[in-house]
Chains A and B, each alone.
Chain A
Amino acid sequence: MGASVGLGASEIAELVRSKEISALEVAEEHLGLIESQDPNLNSFLQLASAAAIAAAKEVDAKIARGEDPGRLAGVPIALKDNLVTRGQTTTCASQILKGWKPPYSATVVERVSSAGAIAMGKTNLDEFAMGSSTENSSFGPTRNPYDLNRVPGGSSGGSAAAVAAKFAALALGSDTGGSIRQPAALCGIVGVKPTYGTVSRYGLIAFASSLDQVGPFARNVKDAALLLQVIAGHDSRDSTSLESPFPDLISHLDKGVRGLRVGIIEELIEGAAPMVGEALMASARSLSDQGAKVEHVSVPAVTYGLSAYYLIAPAEASSNLARYDGVRYGLRVDGQDMNETYVSTRTQGFGAEVKRRIMLGTFALSSGYYDAYYVKAQKVRTMIIDSFQNAYDRFDVLLSPTAPTTAFELGAKASDPLTMYLSDVCTIPTNLAGHPAMSVPYGLGENQMPIGIQILAPALGEVNMFRVAKAIENAAPTITKGLFWE
C-alpha cells in the first residue's frame, strides 16, 4: 500500500498537478490494493489495469508538457458496470450481457476521462440495478468493507464498497430509487442523486428512464461536489438533459447554514431503527447549533412512494429490457423458432429479480390494467411532487434517514423481496419527484455499522443541499472502525 491510498480526490489531483506524486504511482498503488484485497470484497467485476496505467501515463505526460491535466488529474475512479465503456466489457451484472463490449462510451465516462480521472474498472451491482444489497448480481455479491458478513447496499454496492475500501477516491453510480444514496449510507461514504436532467444518461444502461440518474460517490462532501461538477451539464445526446448551466458548488460549500430552513420529514422517521433516528436527530441538532432553523414537517404523500415506484419503475424496465432478446448482442440460446429463442434466451439470461420486475411491469402496462396501475401511479407521482412543493414553500432543504437500518447481513432479506423493497422507502420519493438528494455519513450505530443522513432539496437545489451536507460532515462523529483490510 502506497502513500496515495486513502487520500481524497481533491488532494490527489493537487499532488499530481504539482508533481509531488505521479498519476502512475497513484494508479499502481490503488491497483495493487485492489488486486490484493478485492477478492474478499468483490467490488469490481472487471479491472481495467492496462487502460488505467496508460491513462495515468498520459496524465503525467500532459503535466510534463505543461498542459492542463484536468480537475481530476490522476484521481482513481470506479465505474458502475451499467455505464457503457468503449471496448471494455459492460455487463450490468447480468448473464444476458456477459462479455459484451460496447462500441461507444457513456457521456459521463468521457467527461471524467477528459478531466484526467483514471478509470480503474467496472464495479458490481444488482443485475440491471434492480436491488438494494448487490446480492442480485449474477457474478456474486459484494460485501461491506466494514463487515464482510454484511451487504454494502445496492444497487451501486460495488462502487460504494470500492470507495469506502479506499480502492478508488471516487466512483460513479446510478440512482433510480436510492441506488447511490442507500449504499453510500451503508458503507459510510457520501453519495449524491442529482436533479433529474442534470447529468447525462447517454450511455447509462436504462432501468427506469424517468427515474435513473448518474451521480457521484466520494469519501467527503467536497470530493462529491467536485465529481458532480465534472459530470453535470447539458448533453445534446440526452433529450431529458437540462440546458441550464450547473452552479459552482465548491465556492458555496463553506458558506455555512445560518438562516437556512431545514425540515425533518416526520413520515420517514417512523419506520427507522432507533439508532438511525437518534443519529438523524443528532445531525439536526448540529445544524441548529450552526444557525439553521430546524423544524419537523409532514410530507404525507411520501408514504405512497414505494407503491407508485413499484409500478412505474417495473413498467419502464419491462420495455427497456425488451431489447435483450438474443438477436443482436449478448447471450443467445437458440430455440426451434423465433419465439422459443426469445423465451430461452431471456429465461436463461435474466435473474429472478429482473424477471419479477419485467413481469410486474408488463402486467401494469397491459390493456385493461394500464389505467388502474400505471396511470394511477403517475397521479401519485404528481401528488408526491405537490406534497414536496408544499414543504419547500417553507423549507430550503429536508432531512430524513437515508435508509431505515444500517447494513444488514448477507441473505437476511434476499428471500423476501418486499422486505428488501422497504430498504428504499426513504430514497424513492425523491426519484419520483426528480429532485436532488444525497447521503452523508453520521458516525456508527450501536452495531458499529455506518449510518447515513439524507438531505433532500427541491429541483436544482444542489447548492443549499451541499451546504447542509458540509455542515453535517463537519459535525459528524468520525468513523473509528477500521476497514476489513486495515
Chain B
Amino acid sequence: MADNSIPSDGVEGFLPGWEMVVGLEVHCELKTKTKLFCGCANSFGQEPNTNICPVCLGLPGSLPVINEQAVELAIRIGLSLNCTVDKSIFHRKNYFYPDMPKDYQVSQYEKAINENGILELPLSKKTVRIERAHIEEDTGKSVHVGGDGGRIHGADHSLVDYNRAGIPLVEIVSAPDLRSAEEAREYVTELRSILVASAASDGKMEEGSLRVDANVSVRRQGSEEFGTRCEIKNLNSLRSLTRAIGYEARRQVALIEAGERVVQQTRHWNEDQGITSAMRSKEEAYDYRYFPEPDLVPLEPSTEWISEIRTHIGLLPAARRERLTALFSDVSSGPVYDQIVTAVGLGLDDLVVGAAENGADPRLALARATNEVASDIGNLPRLTIEKFSDLIKLESQSKLSATQAKTVLGKMLESGADAAGVAKSLGFEALDSTVIEDLVDQVIGSSPKEWERFSSGEDQLAGFFVGQVMKLSKGKADGKIVTSLLRSKRS
C-alpha cells in the first residue's frame, strides 16, 4: 500500500486556479463464513460456478434469508466510522445484466443501516463525512471474450461465474469532501485500515475485496458551487485511483477552459492507456426502479446487540497511532509521525509496540518496520515480535551496524530465522573496539592531510574517515564508534 512510486497527479500547483472535488464509493466484501442470503461459503478462487445454490443463483422459487454475521460486520463498520446505526430496509435495484442472477440487486436505498459518520485522515488531518455504509449483495463476474478491452460491447461471447454472486458487501459512501488525488488515496488507505482492524473485511484490493468508484468534478478556486460530476467505475488499486482522479480532473478542466461543458457520465478507467472513457451518459442512465424488497423484513438491531458488537471491534487505526505516538515525545507531525501512519496503515504497529515492550529502541524499531519490513510485507507472518526485538537490540547495542542490521532483517523475513543466527551465518560478528581503533589509526596514517584539516576543525571530513574505516572493515565497523574514536583522537 505504501506505493511511493506513484507520480503525483494531485491538484497542488497542477491545475492553478482550479479545485477538484471528489467523493468515493468504496465497496468492501465482508469477511463472513457464508454468503449474504444463503449457506454457500464466502470464499475466493474456486472453480467457476461450483460455489452456488438455488438462492444465490436466483432460481425460481428461491428466497433470501439475511446472514446475521453480515449484519454484525456491517454494524462494526458503521460504529468504526462513527455512524448512527439504526433500523433499515432493503430495496431491489432492477436492471438487466447477465452476471445478476435475478436481474435485480438487493441493496439498501432509502434507509441504510449506517448513516452520517465521519472518517479522520491522519496526515492531512481532514475530517471526511461518511454519508452512509449500506449492505448489498455482490454480483457474479463476467469474462468477455474477444472484442475491445474486456467489455461486453463487441465481445464474441461472454462467460459468467456466479461464485461471487451473493457475497456480502458494504458500500461506504463519502460526502464530496476530498480535494486531491492524495487525499483520496489517504482516505482509502485509512478506510482500509479501519476495515481490517475491525475484522469486517480483509481489504484486499488485488483480490477485488475492496473496489472503489470515484465521483469527480472541478470548480474554480473559491467557488462554492459544485461542478458537473463524472463517476469513474471500478478502480481496483491505489495507483489506478490516483491516476484516474488526476486524469479526470485535468480532462474536465481542459473541457471547461476550451469553452465546453462537462457532461454527467459514468466513465471507465483504462489502466493501460491511462485515460477515462465514457460508458453511459445521464440520459442513458438506468432507471433502477427501486422498491422495497418484499422477500426480506426490516433490520432492527437492538441497542443491546449494537453495544455488544461495539465490544467486538478491535483497536482502530486512530487508537493504534496513539499507542505508537505514546512511545515518543511530542510527535503529531514530521517524519516520525509519517512513519507511525505508515506502520498503522500496513498493520506493522503491533510489531513496533511489541519490540518496545521487549525493551528495544522504539525509534529504531519504527524505522526498520516501515522500511525493511514494509518492503517485504508478504513475509511478515515469518517475523515474530521476539525475533524482531532481538534484531533491533543487536543494532542499538552496536553489535550490528545499520547496514548489517538491514541485511540480517531481510534474510530473517525470507527464512524466518532468528537475528543472531542469521548474523553469524553472514559473518556479521561485530568488530571489537580495539580492532576498530587499529583501523582508525591505519586510516589516519594513510591520509595525513585530511587528518590535519579535520583536526583543525573541518568537521565535515568525519564522513570521509568513517567511509574509509567502513571500506577497510567491509561494513562491519559501527559508524557511531568510529566517529567517537575520531573525535577523541583529534583532541
**Residues of chain A at the chain B interface (Cβ within 8 Å):** 82-84, 90, 92, 97, 100, 102-104, 106, 201-206, 208-210, 236-240, 315-316, 318-319, 322-323, 325, 327-329, 337-338, 342, 362, 365-367, 370, 374
Q: Within 8 Å CB of B461, what residues of A?
A: none
Cβ–Cβ contact B295 & A323, under 8 A: no
Q: Annotate B88-130 by CB proximity to A: 1 below 8 A, 0 otherwise.
A: 0000101010100111100000000000000000000000000
Name the A residues within 8 Å of B57 (CB-CB). 328
**How far in angstroms is the closest Cβ of chain B from A155?**
16
A97 to B59, CA, bound (A): 11
- Is B13 close to A, CB under 8 A? no
Is B152's CB within 8 Å of the partner chain A? yes
Provide the residues of chain B in CB contact with A237, threshold 8 Å. Answer: 63, 65
The stretch of B79-87, B286-294, B378-386, B390-398 in contact with A is B286-294
Minimum distance in angstroms from B51 CB to a CB of chain A: 15
Which residues of B48-68 are within 8 A (CB) of A? 54, 57-66
Interface centre among B158, B160, B290 (most CB of A within 10 A): B290
B255 at the interface (CB under 8 A from A): no
Ordered by A's residue number, 5 sampled pairs between the chains whose C-beta atoms are within 8 Å are A102-B61, A104-B61, A240-B294, A319-B92, A366-B289
Contacting pair B98 A327 (CB below 8 A): yes
B65 to A90, Cβ gap below 8 A?
A: no
Q: In the assembled complex, which residues on chain B have CB atoms less than 8 Å from the CB atom of A328?
A: 57, 101
Contact of B291 (CB < 8 Å), options: A103, A327, A338, A370: A370
A316–B92 Cα distance when bound, in Å, is 10
Q: How many A-B residue pairs have CB under 8 A?
A: 97
Closest A-B pairs by Cβ, 10 of them: A322-B103, A365-B289, A209-B294, A210-B294, A84-B61, A203-B61, A205-B60, A205-B61, A327-B98, A323-B102
- Given A202-B62, A239-B63, A366-B289, are A323 and B94 also a contact pair (CB < 8 Å)? no
Chain B residues within 8 Å of chain A by Cβ, number: 31
> What B residues does A365 contact at CB under 8 A?
94, 289-291
User: Is B297 positioned at the interface, with any CB of A under 8 Å from its CB?
Assistant: yes
CB-CB under 8 A from A327, the residues of chain B are 98, 160
Residues B60 and A325 in contact, CB atoms below 8 Å apart: no
Complex CA gap A171/B58 in Å reads 27
Contact A236–B60 (Cβ < 8 Å):
no
Contact between chains at A315 and B66 (CB < 8 Å):
no
How distant is the Cα of A323 from the Cα of B103 in the complex, in angstroms?
5
Contact: A329 with B59, CB < 8 Å?
A: yes
Q: Decide if B60 touches A239 in the complex (CB within 8 Å).
A: no
The CA of A365 and the CA of B109, in the complex, are separated in Å by 14
Q: Which residues of B contact A204 (CB under 8 A)?
A: 61
Which of B60, B96, B287, B296 sits near A367, CB closer than 8 Å? B287
Chain B residues within 8 Å of A104, by CB:
54, 59, 61-62
Known: A316-B294, A365-B291. 8 other contacts (CB 8 A): A102-B60, A103-B54, A203-B62, A237-B63, A237-B65, A239-B66, A338-B98, A338-B152
A82 to B92: give the CA distance in the assembly, Å. 23
Residues on B with C-beta less than 8 A from A205 are 60-61
Give residues 388-418 of B contacting A (CB, 8 Å). none
Residues of A within 8 A of B294 (CB): 208-210, 240, 316
For residue B297, which residues in chain A have a CB less than 8 angstroms away from its CB? 239-240
- How far, in Å, is B301 (CB) from chain A's closest CB? 16
Query: Which residues of A lie under 8 Å from residue B152 when comparing CB positions?
Result: 338
CB of B295 within 8 A of CB of A319, answer no
With contacts A237-B65, A342-B96 taken as known, whether A323 is within 8 angstroms of B58 at the C-beta atoms is yes
Query: By the criterion CB–CB under 8 Å, are B291 and A322 in contact?
Result: no
Q: How far is the CA of A205 from the CA of B62 in the complex (A)?
A: 8
In the complex, which of the residues B63, B96, B98, B153 contacts A322, with contact meaning CB atoms closer than 8 Å? B96
Inter-chain contacts of A201 with B (CB < 8 A): 63
Measured between C-beta atoms, what is the minimum distance from B123 to chain A in Å?
Answer: 41
**A417, B294: Cα distance in complex, Å:** 26
Q: Is the CB of A206 within 8 A of B96?
A: no
B96 and A325 within 8 A (CB): yes
Complex Cα distance A319/B91, Å?
Answer: 11
How distant is the Cα of A237 from the Cα of B62 in the complex, in angstroms?
A: 9
Determine the residue in chain B with the shortest Cβ distance to A322: B103
Contact check, A362 vs B289: say whether CB atoms are below 8 A apart: yes
Specify which of A240, A322, A328, A337 lies most central, judged by the most chain B CB atoms within 10 Å of its CB: A322
A202 and B63 form a contact (CB under 8 A): yes
